Structure 1
Amino acid sequence: LSQGQRQRLGLACALLHEPALLVLDEPGNALDPVQTATLRTLIREQAAAGTAVILSTHLLAEVTAVCSRVAILHEGVLHHDGPVAADGHATLERRFFDIAMAGGAQAA
């Protein structure tokens, strides 16, 4: 199987028993744009149905596309936990870079 096919198979296995909690680690890795759009829809549907979804990713576009809350960890320290777009920063990407470039210290 290709890496994208393995990703989709792993997700199908995770959903098989209708879990109350779904933990996804880089689920969009190796997916093409159509599969990525399908994955985003699936994640939103799972959350809307009451499944708690934890998404770990380095792709900030994925976070803004499907998440309602975000936690930013940098060097093992939690620097932000809250709504995706409610902190006054222009973008989630800007928030991340503010934290990373300050050596982990939150920028005002």
Structure 2
Amino acid sequence: MASKRELDHTPDGHYVSIDGRKWRATDPMLPEDIAARLRVHLMAARRAVRSALSEEDQEAVRVARGRVQRAKVALGERGTAWWEQSVDQRRRRWEDGLATLDESGPP
């Protein structure tokens, strides 16, 4: 099993540095079981993007990229910055995102 990679966070915890590039960090308030489910959806959506691109299916690319976006927003990595949201807004963001991804089918 692969080990979890240690990430370098900025002092405020809002960003991580990966290969010298800064990316928004996942919302630290996100329960680990929910974060894990969202990451499963994210990786499945990324695989779907790759497959649709190789098949040159533009509609499938659009749908898969939409799923990537929903997962990233639910994780707090896109959309309104999690540190600018209230606790209730953060919870609603990941609950709504996960519900939408679960409804659209298995990862």
Interval of TM-score (by shorter of Structure 1 and Structure 2): under 0.3
TM-score of the superposition, structure 1-length normalised?
A: 0.24
Which structure carries more helix by proportion? 2
Q: TM-score scaled to structure 2, two decimals?
A: 0.24
Higher strand share: 1
Q: Relative contact order: is structure 1 or structure 2 higher (C-alpha 8 Å, sep ≥ 6)?
A: 2
